[in-house]
Structure formats: C-alpha cells, structure tokens
Amino acid sequence: MKHDTLLSILSLPQIPPIPSYMKNLLLLTAALLTTGAALAQGQYTIDGRVANAPDGLKVYLQDTQWPESNMVDSTVMKNGRFAFKGKLASPDLHRIIIDKTPAGEKTSQRNWLMSSFYLENSPIIYAGNLDSLPTFYYKRNRVVAQPKITGSATENQAVAFRQSIAPLSKQLAATNKQYTDEFHLPSLEGKFNTPVGIKLAKQEWALDDQLRQRKLDFIKANPSSVVAYDQASYFLGGMFVDMTVPQISELQALLEKGWAGTPRMAAFNAKAEKAKRTAIGTKYQDFMLTTPEGKQVKLSSLVPKGKYTLIEFWASWCGPCRAEIPHLRNVYDTKGKSFQIVSISLDDKDADWRKAMKEEGMIWPQLVDPKGFEGDISKAYGILAIPFSLMLDKEGRIMRVEMRGAYLDATLQDLKI
C-alpha cells in the first residue's frame, strides 16, 4: 500500500478497495495517532488480576531489549492482585512473569508463567487465570489462555493485526503438520513420499508468501507504529534472512518514515546491513576449511562453476542433522550428477566427525571447521543452530535457504533437476 494516510487512500477512487483484514487496523492506527501525544506525557499503571493465584508469588515486569532483556520492576502477589507503575518514553513490548518456584528453592524458568503485551503510558488491566497462563517452556498437555489486556491502544493494534493473519497462520501450521506426518516422519524410516512432500512444501511456500505480504502491508500502512517496527525486525531476526538486498532496503525505507534519527532506526539499520551480506542473491563467502585428508582448501574449490550447489552445515552430535542424511544420500544417489552437495561439519572432535561420516555413508564432498560455531564461516553466516543449509545458483549466489527434505526436492523439481 503506497499511500501513507487513510485520507489519501479514501480520496483516490482508482485504488482497489481496502482489503477487509486492513480496515480495523487502519481505524486503530488513527486512534493511536490521536492518543500518542497524551501517552508521552503520562505514566503507566498495571492492575494485575490473577484468579487462583496464592499469596507470595513473585511477579516481574521485564522489557524485551536485545540482546539482553532487563527486569524493570518486581512485586509480590497478594489476594490475586499485583501492581506496577512507571513511565515509558514510548510504547514498547514488555513481559509479565509470574514465578511459581516454591519458597526456599532456587528460581527456575521451568516454573515461570510468561505473557507479552505492548505497554504504554496509560491505565492497563492485566487479567488471567494462573491455571491457564502461558508457560515459559512449552508444556504439551497444558490448556493455554492468554491474559486479557485492556487499556493499551498499542496492544489493541497488535491483537487486531494477529487476528487478521490468524487464518493464514493456522493454515500454514496445519500444512506443516501434514508435511511432518506424511513426509518427514516416514523419511526417518527410509520411506520417501516425495510427490506428497513436494506438494506440501510448495503449499507452505505459497502460504508463507501470502503471510509475508500481509505483514508488509501492515508495515506500509503503519510505519510509525512500534508494532510495525517489531514486525519489520522479525523479518531480520532469524538465523538467516530469506530476503533480497532490495527487499531489505525497502523495509529500511518504510521505517525511515516513522523512525528516522532514532536509536531504534539505528539499531534496525545495523541489523539490515548485516543481513545484506548474506541475503538472497548475494555471492557465497569463501573460507579455508579442512578435508578428510587433513588438507586446508578453499570452499570454492568444491563449488563447481555452472552447477547448482547445496551447502549443508551439520555435526556428528546433532540428531536432527543425522536424521536428514538418509534423505540427502537418496537425493545424491539419484540426482548427484546434476548438482553438487558439500557438507561442512562443525565438529570440534576429529574422531567423532570421521566416525559419523563412515556410519552415514556420506560419499559427497566433506569439509570440517574444527572451531565450530566460533569459526569464521559460522560467524559470517550467523549460524547459531544446525542443521542449516544454503542452495547456490550456477553463479554461486545464494538462492534459497533451509533446503532439507521435500523442500530440497521441490527446489530441484523447480530447477528441472
């Protein structure tokens, strides 16, 4: 959506009607604009009301700063109530943490109940039930109900946005579950339902593209909103940013409209410039690595020109990595003449690496960086977890990421390999 205000949208009849999922968001944006000045001058109060909460539970108010969040305030639950007050420079995402750790024991995140919401300088009510509040760690059989937050216009905007994309999000989650059940789990037993997997992988990609566009529409319509700022940040928050340099630059330009000259904009720009170094369409970075024969070679020596190449990061101790190897072996056996695979181990123990290669029958090119996650290649690509993979085009440019299972099969099909 290229026009910045509701007035300009409504005054141009040649523009198609506003999608229904955007209408409530635009009304909330107008409300936020009219209340922004008042919020900056007041203070926040949080009136916490928690059913079934015993006296004495510790309650914390935490910000969401990166890379390390801060405990802003703390109090103790009494008669199912708690309270906080203070002042913010601008609305921001915060967490309420209720610690259920028994008295006398060392606090543990396993005992935390945690929920996030957008705090602003206004009277806010937090209402929930101790028995259904979200836990810090996922618990399989727990029935979860988010607390009801009232009094924050910024939170209202965030809730409306989440509701607008909920159908797509649910559809994507259901498709991913179907993929897991019908392709991934059977593949662990050596059964590859490739046509089904490819179909579901492409459905996921299509849904993900729709979801991304919804988020971009929201950011374009609300460039001054912290909710939009956070959504833009999430695009750049993963281990690898599945975006091109122009797409990242577009996000920067959108946020400049509302955040130019602010610390938030500086932080976003720093993250964006880092992401551009490994964005889709950029050339892969070359590093010296070690072969099974103990020789130091450049990665480029194993990346043939004029051929698609999959670079796969793994380690002998990584269960999910090794679970993917039978599929990689199957793909290499059937299509290895048409594209290259290079596996890069992050093992720091040479014997473990060699043993795993032998056990898995990994006959394609192998390299290792014994410095693991502290090595230059891991730092360059921002690798924080494995398995992780990159697909390079014939010119050595990054074209897709996370190419495993049927996602790799679907990509090879698209490339007619």
The pLDDT tens digits for 197-207 are 999 999 999 99
Q: How many residues does the chain have?
A: 417
Q: Which residue has the higher pLDDT, 357 or 68?
A: 357
| pLDDT grade for 241, boundaries at 50, 70 and 90 | confident
Q: 289-304: per-residue pLDDT in tens? A: 999 999 999 999 999 9
For residue 34, name the pLDDT band (cuts at 50, 70, 90). Answer: very low
Would you state the structure tokens that stand for residue 302, as one six-digit string? Answer: 């194993």
Most confident of 29-43, 161-175, 375-389: 161-175
Give the span between the Cα atoms of 193 and 395, in whole angstroms: 31
pLDDT at 100 over 90: yes
Residue 399 has pLDDT above 80, yes or no: yes
What pLDDT does 25 receive? 55
Q: Is residue 285 scored above 50 in pLDDT?
A: yes
Residues facing residue 212 across a β-bridge: none
Angle at the Cα of 29 from the Cα atoms of 24 and 30, rounded to 5 degrees: 100
Domain boundaries, the chain: 42-151, 165-276, 288-414
Q: For residue 263, say if its preceding peptide bond is cis, omega within 30 degrees of 0.
A: no
**Is-contact 311 284, C-beta < 8 A?**
yes
Instruction: Sheet containing 148-150: give its strands across.
Output: 81-86, 44-51, 123-129, 148-150
Q: Rounded mean pLDDT of the chain?
A: 90
Q: Which residues contact 66 (CB under 8 A, 6 or more apart)?
A: none
73 beta partners: 61
Two tokens, residue 137: 């760690």
Supply the pLDDT for residue 5.
31
Would you give the DSSP letter of residue 182?
I
Q: Which CATH class is domain 288-414?
A: alpha beta
Band of residue 4 on the pLDDT scale cut at 50, 70, 90: very low
pLDDT at 216 over 60: yes
Q: Same CATH topology for 42-151 and 288-414?
A: no
Q: Using 50, 70 and 90 to split pLDDT, how confident is the model at 11? A: very low
Residue 33 reports pLDDT greater than 90: no
Question: Quick one: average pLDDT of 261-283?
Answer: 93
pLDDT at position 28 is 53
Q: How confident is the model at residue 337 (pLDDT cuts 50, 70, 90)?
A: confident
**Res 38: pLDDT:** 44
Q: Does domain 42-151 have CATH number 2.60.40.180?
A: yes
| pLDDT score of 111 more than 70 | yes
Distance CA 134, CA 142 (A): 9
Q: What is the pLDDT of residue 82?
A: 99
Mean pLDDT over residues 17-42, rounded? 51
Residues 6+ apart with CB under 8 A from 251: 219, 232, 235, 236, 243, 268, 272
Q: Determine the pLDDT at residue 24.
A: 53
Inform me whether the pLDDT recorded for 68 exceeds 50.
Answer: yes
Task: List the one residue out of 382, 381, 373 whose CA is nearest residue 347.
Answer: 373
* Pairwise CA distance, residues 254 & 247, whole Å: 11
pLDDT above 90: residue 41? no
Distance, in Å, from the CA atom of 60 to the CA atom of 295, rounded to the nearest integer, reads: 54
pLDDT at residue 66, as a whole number = 73
Segment (H or E) for 61:
strand 58-63
Q: What is the pLDDT of residue 280?
A: 96
Q: How confident is the model at residue 22 (pLDDT cuts 50, 70, 90)?
A: low
Residue 366 C-alpha from the chain's centroid: 29
pLDDT greater than 90 at residue 7: no
pLDDT score for 1: 37
- 158-161: which pairs have CB atoms within 8 A and are 24 or more residues apart? 158/117, 158/118, 158/227, 160/24, 160/25, 160/28, 161/25, 161/218, 161/227, 161/231
- Residue appearing with tokens 């209402």: 127
Confidence grade of residue 40 (pLDDT, cut at 50, 70, 90)? very low
pTM of the complete model:
0.83
